[in-house]
Structure 1
């Protein structure tokens, strides 16, 4: 429980606050930032939870704002912190961007949301779609109610879905999206390979259906005694939307749920696979001609199945800041100089699996530098997207829709693999002007 919730700017000035109990004075909010600064001056790390003079301060930071909860009791700090994150998600859902201006322009709605989401210091409703059903961004005139009763969404056991939904065409779309984070050292060894997966869902189904999703999960086959046909994977760090029945998943690895309406994120997972073959591999050889010019020979290899095709490949190769007069020759796609990124980029619209291509680049260097002055070369970075392909091998075995009316439904599944936030390959630090060896490529 918490006694007071407040949103502050970076200077510690409260923009909005709501008191739910009388055991914490409002003046404690203004003491928050000085306490944070005192902790930092002492060389200590500011933790999300700390106490001072009998008051517990629990906070998170979003953009240029602090979201703060105060309590005078031994509260559940983790639950309170999670509530602050949920409050952030709800406000972002309402206002698209959560910043000082959006708070100042929407005091009334924020107070309504804080009252519905928190009751006498206890978290209550945190589902954005449910809140949007009866707290809208439109102005309302006060009318005398005929009957005082709580909204249906509050009494519904399935809080993330409304009753009475109707669609002319019942469809559900699943997007299995995997992002690959990769780090390759200058010797060509993969030092880190990580797959971050997410299953996104768009549900356009009538009524209150139950969905059952089956994946080629290794543990599912082992628990049910089924024969493994094809490749099975072992997912790590699996996290589900609250609609998934966790007890059933733990028992027989069946993913069953009543889905939220519209767009939602059903599950996320992570795979650490250092032995995984990178889908897009890039090699580069660099020849430095005594500081007068530098030549690059870049090779890209599509290391995935021939039936798949990568789209919108962009390969960023770093160059020296004083390089000029670029010349390019590519066997496919086009290359261009990007001086604002201190790199040149090789763009390929489509790259079929198993294919490989070469590109040459030449730059003039206006000044002669010593080898000792050559800075450490930045890594090559790659962007791409491969539809109908997953690097982990995850597959949707079935997606069943069960609804009491027995209507016909149309499930659709799509797979996408793309680069993650860190997909980088380092090149060997060149020393001198050794010729480019064509046989290596």
Structure 2
């Protein structure tokens, strides 16, 4: 009897609905499932991750502008389905170096070979990149995305960390390197005066290993790292979880993790900082709305960078919704270096998009909008309700807001002497800190 965990199809669609990869494992579902899926999610912007149409169960995730979908006729566990999808994305990225539309198009034969090794009659056979390396014969074709010369179009795209040549290297190229990304996404809401209403930091430590063999790793974090509620000292995080192969025997006492890393990319640790987060926000947003005539208002948006002078924010993207009766907008940038800025008014959305390529720490930038309205301003408070909230996205390289730091990364320790072995003395270590805005919102209207 067929097991209920078998999948029927696996396919990858672009954000436009173009079919990039499609593999039918069981031939028990009618053709055209890709069109059925994309038609449904196009009509339903808040489509659930699992749904059924015409007796077909669809499970999907969205990553890097791509839809990864599996279908099945069986009532399979959603947890198993999402585990399949996530492992597929990780393994494809491990082999191709990048998870993007262009990378998949250039490595179609490689992706299809990976799927054929991953699944047998719809059953997943393995989730280990290292085991697949001995079976997959195709070589990847790797490219590195270069930054766009146009500021605003690149900022309108989904924000993401810029990949270096190191992290774009496929897993088949082993040069005895290891790379560590400490990534943090911050959700903040400000009131109109720039004071914090709520804040939340979601962090993850992602490793990508090209190490020869399987050496022991020791990672040391802040000795003042505190987990859970505590007194007002140290770096505090509310919750944390680790991958299953991490040894925590030294973590409680000395904040040291030990592990034998698996090949490819994996998440070593996830953590959250919520109510205990007391550090300064990287940016603060201040807004002011004033009436200057019967058919005109003026909006000033000021952003202050509270990060150190040695740090900078990059690819800032600020979205400012305007009143529904907006007829025309004249913008003034409050900066001498205007070539770092780009402003666009989208009349059909009644929205101003403001892009800043580089924002140095301990500086301020402002944008003044002179807004002409099609109807007279009888009550300024009504107009204020229609403005905002101001939404901001950004990235801060080599900076994290929680204070979680990596003190050391030791590789290939001898179990007797505790020293680095000569075989691992030439290992290249690469550590990067990145802070991104997940939802950075400022209210414009002040409630009484």
TM-score interval w.r.t. the shorter chain?
Answer: 0.5 to 0.7
What is the CA distance between 1:181 and its match in structure 2? 1.5
Runs of at least 5 residues in structure 1 that lack an aligned partner in the other structure: 20-25, 140-160, 223-227, 431-441
- Determine helix, strand or coil for the equivalent of 2:88: helix
C-alpha RMSD of matched pairs (Å): 5.0
TM-score by length of 1: 0.64
1:68 aligns with 2:75: no
- Determine helix, strand or coil for the equivalent of 1:87: helix
1:338 aligns with 2:348: no
CA distance in 2, matches of 1:48, 1:417: 31
- Determine helix, strand or coil for the equivalent of 2:241: strand
Q: Tell whether the 8 Å contact from 2:236 to 2:273 is kept in structure 1 after alignment.
A: no
Distance 1:390 1:61, change over 3 A: closer
- Determine helix, strand or coil for the equivalent of 2:8: strand
What is the CA distance between 1:289 and its match in structure 2? 1.3
What is the CA distance between 1:381 and its match in structure 2? 2.8
CA distance in 2, matches of 1:367, 1:203: 59
1:309 aligns with 2:319: no
Instruction: Spell out, residue by residue over 1:143-192, the C-alpha distance to the aligned partner (whole angstroms, 9 max, x if none).
Output: xxxxxxxxxxxxxxxxxx99x9664xxx5443322221112234655333
Q: Tell whether the 8 Å contact from 1:178 to 1:196 is kept in structure 2 after alignment.
A: yes
Distance 1:130 1:350, change over 3 A: same
TM-score by length of 2: 0.64
Q: Tell whether the 8 Å contact from 2:51 to 2:59 is kept in structure 1 after alignment.
A: yes
Task: State the partner residue of 1:285.
Answer: 288
What is the CA distance between 1:219 and its match in structure 2? 7.1
Task: State the partner residue of 1:326.
Answer: 331
Distance 1:81 1:312, change over 3 A: closer
What is the CA distance between 1:115 and its match in structure 2? 4.8
Q: Give 2:271's match in structure 1, choosing from 269, 272, 286.
A: 269
CA distance in 2, matches of 1:47, 1:300: 36
What is the CA distance between 1:371 and its match in structure 2? 3.9
CA distance in 1, matches of 2:251, 2:124: 27
Q: Tell whether the 8 Å contact from 1:311 to 1:384 is kept in structure 2 after alignment.
A: yes
Task: State the partner residue of 2:220.
Answer: 214
Task: State the partner residue of 1:18.
Answer: 25
Task: State the partner residue of 1:154.
Answer: none
1:236 aligns with 2:239: yes
What is the CA distance between 1:213 and its match in structure 2? 0.9
CA distance in 2, matches of 1:68, 1:182: 37
In our comparison, the structure showing a higher alpha carbon Rg is: 1
Instruction: Spell out, residue by residue over 1:375-408, the C-alpha distance to the aligned partner (whole angstroms, 9 max, x if none).
Output: 6112223344434432111111222212554342
Q: Tell whether the 8 Å contact from 2:237 to 2:274 is kept in structure 1 after alignment.
A: no
Number of residues paired by the alignment? 376
Task: State the partner residue of 2:431.
Answer: 413
- Determine helix, strand or coil for the equivalent of 1:339: strand
What is the CA distance between 1:415 and its match in structure 2? 2.6
CA distance in 1, matches of 2:83, 2:67: 19
